[in-house]
Amino acid sequence: MKKSLLSAVALTALVAFSGSAWADILIGVSGPITGPNAAFGAQLQKGAEQAAADINAAGGINGEQIKVVVGDDVSDPKQGISVANKFVADGVKFVVGHFNSGVSIPASEVYAENGILQISPASTNPQYTERGLWNTFRTCGRDDQQGIVAGKYLADNFKDAKIAVIHDKTPYGQGLADETKKALNGAGVTEAMYEGINVGDKDFSALIAKMKEAGVSAVYYGGLHTEAGLIMRQLADQGLKAAFMTGDGIVSNELASIAGDAVHGTLMTFAPDPRKNPAAKDIVEKFRAAGFEPEAYTLYAYAAVQVIAGGAAAAGDLDPQKVAEAIKAKGPFQTAIGELGFDAKGDITRPDYVMYTWKKGDDGKYSYFENQ
């Protein structure tokens, strides 16, 4: 009798514990938490965690509380697959991530096969949403949209310049460079150079020598801030005065510490600064009060969690496939970066790129400012 009573108590405790554990909605957040791109990983993590905390404080998603699980993909596709499989094993149903297109694309296959909805705040390669998967969404724009803006600007402002198009051979970097090149060529301008570098390269002397030989006076770079900053610095050190333009892979104030004064005048495509959106005012103040500047993709990650919550509310269900259908059919949704609607592919329905210039602000520090 005693044995069965103990078993009954244990079973009751197990059911009670399991019930509370299973009641949590697990949202995985993945990006480069460590490594050279950790600044972007921090943006994704902080944004998603704050959104989860705010939504939980307001009653959760359909009455259930969110629990955030973090995975570090170090910007590596293989590690991204490992993180995705770990999320599957953990029972994650929704993912905010990844950062790099080259990681999001293979990871999305794992998520699709296992019933997990994925919203990337930062992966801009068109192929991420072009493969007909049910589960892929993004709160940012696409490289074909970004490339059109960059290519047109180059054609309008550097028509007579010798332009070098450089990329880092990744799905993001080369994809963006190719879209920009396509728009540039479409406007009747042919680049003087088209070259790829390797992620992790530190010495660009040979590349710059080639640029000098070709008479290059404008550089377009597809890639991230780590290599971009080094190229800028070395261009200045080696006496090549060339205008420098790139995309949204450099939106971290770490760029200025890598490039130094060579960052001055750098042109960049990115969305209108979400921190200036009236809908984000209170959220931005909350981040700043906690000592974190919510730059770049922070609010895109925050918005991704809001879209998951909005989709679940619209569906009246927590099943990821039903939530995915509701996100596409029942938007737009109010978010920290403004109103977001989604098309059948999972892309946002608004165009989202403008031009910025890097320069010193009133505080004497380098940052990026939208061109007027």
Taking only the tens of pLDDT, the chain with its 372 residues reads 433 333 333 343 333 333 334 469 999 999 999 999 999 999 999 999 999 999 999 999 999 999 999 999 999 999 999 999 999 999 999 999 999 999 999 999 999 999 999 999 999 999 999 999 999 999 999 999 999 999 999 999 999 999 999 999 999 999 999 999 999 999 999 999 999 999 999 999 999 999 999 999 999 999 999 999 999 999 999 999 999 999 999 988 899 999 999 999 999 999 999 899 888 999 999 999 999 999 999 999 999 999 999 999 999 999 999 999 999 999 999 999 999 999 999 999 987 799 999 999 999 999 999 998
Both tokens of residue 2? 């005693």
Q: What is the pLDDT of residue 220?
A: 98
Alpha helices by DSSP H, listed for the chain, are: 2-23, 38-57, 77-90, 101-113, 143-157, 171-186, 205-214, 225-237, 254-259, 281-289, 298-315, 320-329
What is d(CA 181, CA 1) in angstroms, rounded to the nearest whole number? Answer: 79
- What CA dihedral angle connects 296, 36, 255 and 155, to 10 degrees? -80
Q: What is the pLDDT of residue 31?
A: 98
Pairing relationship of beta strands 243-246 and 218-222 according to DSSP bridges? parallel
Q: What is the pTM of this model?
A: 0.87
CATH number corresponding to 144-270+354-370:
3.40.50.2300
State the span(s) of the chain assigned CATH 3.40.50.2300: 2-141+277-340, 144-270+354-370
Q: What is the pLDDT of residue 17?
A: 35
Task: Let me know if domain 2-141+277-340 sits in CATH 3.40.50.2300.
Answer: yes
Q: What is the pLDDT of residue 14?
A: 37
Q: What is the pLDDT of residue 23?
A: 62
